[in-house]
Structure 1
Amino acid sequence: MGYFVVSVFGTAAVAFALLSWYASNLRYFRYLAVGLASCGTGFLLQTAQIPTNISANSLLATACYFAGALSVAEAVKRRSSETMGWAFHATLFVVALLSTAYFLFVDRNLIARTYILNFGFGFVLLAAAWKTRKHIRGSVADQILFWTIALVGLHFLPRTVLTVGSFSAAPGEHVNTTFWITLQYTLAFVLNAGVLALFGVAGADIFASITRERDSDVLTGLLNRRGLETAVRSLTGKGTQNAVILADLDNFKAINDHFGHAAGDIVLQETARRLAAVARKQDLLARIGGEEFVCVISGSVEDALALAERFRTSLAATPVNVGSASLTVTGSFGIAASDAYDHFWDAVKEADTQLYVAKRAGKNAVSSRERLAS
Structure 2
Amino acid sequence: MEVSELNSSSRLRLKVLKGLSLGVGGLAVLVAIGNILVSQSYVYASFVMLYALYSWHVYRQTSKTTIFNGHKYIMSVSLTVLVIAGTVLKPTDTGVFFWTLVFPIIYYLLLGHKAGFLATVSLFLIQMVNIAFQFDTEQYFDMITMMLNFSFCYVTIAVVSHAYEINRVLAENKLSKLATCDPLTGANNRLALKHRYQALQDQQAEFHLLVLDIDHFKAVNDEYGHDGGDIVLQAVVNTMVDVAGSDNVFRQGGEEFCLLLEGVSHHDALAVAERIRKRIAKTPIFYQQRAIPVTVSIGVTQSEASKCAQEINRQADANLYAAKAGGRNKVVA
The CA deviation at 1:294 is 0.7
- Contact 1:244–1:297, Cα closer than 8 Å, also in 2: yes
- Equivalenced residue count is 210
In the alignment, what sits opposite 1:322?
287
- Contact 1:300–1:337, Cα closer than 8 Å, also in 2: no
Between the aligned partners of 1:353 and 1:317, the Cα distance in structure 2 is 26
The CA deviation at 1:177 is 7.1
In the alignment, what sits opposite 1:143?
114
**Deviations along 1:176-211, whole A, 9 cap, x unmatched?**
976256325403311321211221222232223222
Query: Structure 1 residues 329, 339: closer, same or farther in 2, change over 3 A?
Result: same
TM-score by length of 1: 0.50
The CA deviation at 1:269 is 1.3
Unpaired runs of at least 5, structure 1: 1-139, 163-175, 369-374
Between the aligned partners of 2:260 and 2:113, the Cα distance in structure 1 is 28
**Larger RCO: Structure 1 or Structure 2 (Cα < 8 Å, ≥ 6 residues apart)?**
2
The yes-or-no answer on 1:285 pairing with 2:256 is no
In the alignment, what sits opposite 1:261?
226
State the AA in 1 paired with 2:251.
R
- Contact 2:204–2:305, Cα closer than 8 Å, also in 1: no
**Deviations along 1:80-107, whole A, 9 cap, x unmatched?**
xxxxxxxxxxxxxxxxxxxxxxxxxxxx
2:324 to 351, 355, 359: 359
RMSD of Structure 2 on Structure 1 (CA)? 3.1
Between the aligned partners of 2:318 and 2:195, the Cα distance in structure 1 is 24
Between the aligned partners of 1:341 and 1:248, the Cα distance in structure 2 is 27
Between the aligned partners of 1:240 and 1:343, the Cα distance in structure 2 is 12
In the alignment, what sits opposite 1:67?
none
Q: Which runs of 4+ in 1 moved over 4 A?
A: 144-149
Between the aligned partners of 2:182 and 2:147, the Cα distance in structure 1 is 54
State the AA in 2 paired with 1:294.
C
Between the aligned partners of 2:218 and 2:112, the Cα distance in structure 1 is 45
- Contact 1:243–1:339, Cα closer than 8 Å, also in 2: no
The yes-or-no answer on 1:337 pairing with 2:302 is yes
- Contact 1:315–1:330, Cα closer than 8 Å, also in 2: yes
Between the aligned partners of 2:145 and 2:269, the Cα distance in structure 1 is 67
**Structure 1 residue matching 2:249: 3-state secondary structure:** strand
- Contact 1:148–1:197, Cα closer than 8 Å, also in 2: no
The CA deviation at 1:238 is 7.0
1:194 to 159, 169, 174: 159
The CA deviation at 1:266 is 1.4
In the alignment, what sits opposite 2:259?
295
In the alignment, what sits opposite 1:208?
173
Tell me whether 272-281 or 224-233 shows the greater mean CA deviation.
Answer: 272-281
**Structure 1 residue matching 2:210: 3-state secondary structure:** strand
In the alignment, what sits opposite 2:81?
none
State the AA in 1 paired with 2:318.
T
Between the aligned partners of 2:281 and 2:301, the Cα distance in structure 1 is 23
- Aligned ranges 1:164-179 → 2 under 5 Å: 179=144
In the alignment, what sits opposite 1:224?
189
**Structure 2 residue matching 1:269: 3-state secondary structure:** helix
Between the aligned partners of 1:147 and 1:330, the Cα distance in structure 2 is 54
1:241 to 191, 201, 206: 206
State the AA in 2 paired with 1:315.
I
Between the aligned partners of 2:323 and 2:226, the Cα distance in structure 1 is 26
- Aligned ranges 1:101-140 → 2 under 5 Å: none
**Structure 2 residue matching 1:236: 3-state secondary structure:** helix
- Aligned ranges 1:72-91 → 2 under 5 Å: none
The CA deviation at 1:148 is 8.6
The CA deviation at 1:239 is 5.5
